[in-house]
Structure 1
């Protein structure tokens, strides 16, 4: 029976690349799956339930970020290539586009298997270095993998949301804090901007240079408890007033 959502593809493909030494994150800057190994450029995988034109267009768009882009979909019934094509047709098409191809086969009584149909080949489209840099920054600034690749219409755990939660957690633990103390406790040099912008309305300025947690912030700590529990315990630096 065909899968109901492309999110089912995420776990087996994540495992596939982790076995090859990559660190994997889901839903990074609108990319379904991003994997990085050491100092190598990022690798991107776009997921769809089946092989179709929107998947190819999505893959081509990701080539602006890196030359290592794969498209992935469930292996069709009986292992036949989709749309009455031959697998060699799929390989040739995707190689011309500069895309790699992965398929996932699901079973009733054993773990799914991932098959590498073809590797991505170099593509002449000029990379957007600025956008690629933002992708890698977002990846590295996340402390863990809190999203499932392929998700849509739901809140994603971004690096910004995670940093905001960290500040909220520290305020919950220690009471009202100044940007200076939070900067020292989180090593986030942009904490002042985060508090002033107050995008999620989790903070309120209690007095000059002192911020406190709002009820919305308290609620967020409960909603994202699975993220908050990963934050280390921090004491207020004694060197600061």
Structure 2
């Protein structure tokens, strides 16, 4: 694309101005560092422009909320799908900041402003179920074996710890039943873990009796701290 054909922030002004004029607002540009100001009766609307949805734009817009509750951010309509998770997450953030969002689409010489959503009060209700899930996961871990930001495939979860505990006891004591393992402290999920066999570590040699297979023996060696923890007779929190 030629330099002169590239979008500029000023290209957003006219279609947004037309939108508010059609809504019977008086519209003014560059008022006290605000890109656009629109007034109707006692209502004051402020709009800040950028060529992409950036942190700088959000900071600028939230500062305008010191002046009025009715603040919009405006950007060119993204080329990617507006039903993507990434876009939905961005919109969630904008809504959480109680800002409105305007996108401007360009087709040839025509430009059109579209209000995706207006500024409104955001409900900040907490999810009791998600909170309980996090607390349950923490309670199921014996210690912190992860580093924040690490790859998901390497994360040590309470479930994986439980699998390692079961594997350690099977490796140490040989064939065992779920009941025997539970009595050793492996917890109420023992039967489910052995049956589902997510990591393919366990083998049922006869009804109700399991052993640790070679794959399990090799892979469990990758977690010496946990193996030693369980061999010392310590058990995870219940």
TM-score by length of 2: 0.47
Bigger Rg over Cα? 2
